[in-house]
Structure 1
């Protein structure tokens, strides 16, 4: 068979299963390396074709800072934990960052500190901002959707809603949630409960959660770093711990270690597995010189 002609506009790409102990679990994220900033329309179109819950785009700006943006198949999101973990491991896979050194990625949500673990193969960490949970009255329909008593309900400035359910609910067996969510819950609902039999980094997990966001084009996100960063301070206060292990019993389960930092920030540590490595050939990507300015390291 003759070889296909090469495309000079092709860009390196990986698919990494993040917050996973091994292949075929965790949360898949595509990572695409750009030569410079690209138009949002082109990035959105490529994310729609790759069909991962998030696709991360990386490029060096004129200041030689790595910039990152994230797109679901239908929209851009301001922050994404698992795709940032995947991007960190991708930079290491491409030998673009030294193992063990902390790097600060510039994003539309500010600077994000990331690091490849020098002691655990395939592990990396990132620091995400958290937000206080603001208590509210739970919508009455949730009791029927979740088939559980609702022990607490909160909103956050991140846009996610959080609901605490009784431990009697078998969280991994919860079905048909996304299509029945209403109102603001559709933009991101974290369903969490105390305890888990899962182990991570040699520790039994302290809590577990699932995350549904049909309003973002994601029926269910398998393992969600931003959700764990959001609820980790609440669990730390409830359990009297500064380091916790959280599990996400989705169909592609996974989890992470959460360490509280100063300034209402959380360091998330997890494992990633490279599922495929190659390139994407889409033709000219519609570069927008100067578009790097939408990213910040502050």
Structure 2
């Protein structure tokens, strides 16, 4: 098992994910137990499928449909430990995810999930913003709230018990950036993730949202968590391209009962 800091150019930055490359799936309960034991935002499991790989992701609490940073971490492990130097195809619950290595980093090629209108916030979190939100929208797995600016995003104090009530959905907040085009933060306490350091998957919706709002297809994004992470983004048709780096922090041998 490998632990990789994704969307980082050094250890102790970005978002850590565990990665296991398997010959075939372990029993689902065992994979969940490994993820719970790791207590990281995501543990990724991949197995070969012809010239591509099947890929699944588990939080400490349950399996999820979509994860960007653990996809980047998996590609990094395949590139550095399995010497895969070509475009990598991953079969997942949300369709085909592609990762292209190059220039010291990786380009994630993800499906775009454009924002869906949301007339009002769920009652559980409506009081978290005191009426200060600019607008709100959603996709298939998250609620998104735009705040006034980057300062408001950074100053936001999450009510994690309240946010946990919208599980299995998470909450992403975003705002126009100062030194980046936009910033964001992400909370999914119901999935065992109080605040995620850097979340690739939410950018599959944030990029089309900000691309339309700012009138540009190339965007610089920053996730303003304690660890933080920069994402270079581009909207190309119905795909979102995100470029980032990754660093291996640990290689471990695990013992199953």
Same-fold status (TM-score > 0.5): yes
The structure-2 alpha-carbon separation of the partners of 1:185 and 1:164, relative to structure 1 and needing over 3 Å to count, comes to: farther
- Contact preservation (8 Å) 1:54, 1:72: yes
Paired residues for 1:151-166 under 5 Å:
151-156=134-139, 158-166=140-148
Matches of 1:141 and 1:69 in 2, distance apart? 30
Q: Specify the SS of the correspondent of 2:161.
A: helix
Q: CA deviation at 1:88?
A: 0.4
The structure-2 alpha-carbon separation of the partners of 1:144 and 1:21, relative to structure 1 and needing over 3 Å to count, comes to: farther
- Aligned residue in 1 for 2:133: 150
Q: CA deviation at 1:132?
A: 2.3
- Aligned residue in 1 for 2:93: 108
The structure-2 alpha-carbon separation of the partners of 1:39 and 1:50, relative to structure 1 and needing over 3 Å to count, comes to: same
Q: CA deviation at 1:23?
A: 1.8
Q: Which of 39, 58, 79 is equivalent to 2:46?
A: 58
Matches of 1:176 and 1:266 in 2, distance apart? 28
- Contact preservation (8 Å) 1:165, 1:191: yes
1:229 aligns with 2:204: yes
Structure 1 stretch 161-170 or stretch 268-277: which is displaced more?
161-170
Q: CA deviation at 1:217?
A: 2.0
- Deviation string 1:160-186 (CA, Å, 9 cap, x unpaired) is 111110117442232233223265376
The structure-2 alpha-carbon separation of the partners of 1:135 and 1:109, relative to structure 1 and needing over 3 Å to count, comes to: closer
Paired residues for 1:176-191 under 5 Å:
176-181=158-163, 183-184=165-166, 187-191=169-173
Segments of 5+ residues of structure 1 without an aligned counterpart are 1-12, 198-204, 284-298
1:260 aligns with 2:235: yes
- Contact preservation (8 Å) 2:3, 2:19: yes
Segments of 5+ residues of structure 2 without an aligned counterpart are none
RMSD of equivalent CA atoms: 2.0
Matches of 2:134 and 2:74 in 1, distance apart? 36
The structure-2 alpha-carbon separation of the partners of 1:36 and 1:21, relative to structure 1 and needing over 3 Å to count, comes to: same
- Aligned residue in 1 for 2:154: 172
Q: CA deviation at 1:136?
A: 2.0
Of structures 1 and 2, the one with the larger relative CO (CA 8 A, separation 6+) is: 1
Instruction: Give the TM-score normalised by structure 1.
Output: 0.80
Q: CA deviation at 1:126?
A: 1.2
Q: CA deviation at 1:25?
A: 1.5
Matches of 1:72 and 1:231 in 2, distance apart? 22
Q: Specify the SS of the correspondent of 2:222.
A: strand
Q: CA deviation at 1:187?
A: 1.6
Aligned residues: 256
Of structures 1 and 2, the larger Rg is shown by 1
Matches of 2:175 and 2:160 in 1, distance apart? 18
Matches of 1:241 and 1:185 in 2, distance apart? 33
- Contact preservation (8 Å) 2:39, 2:60: yes
- Deviation string 1:43-69 (CA, Å, 9 cap, x unpaired) is 1111111111000011113x3532211
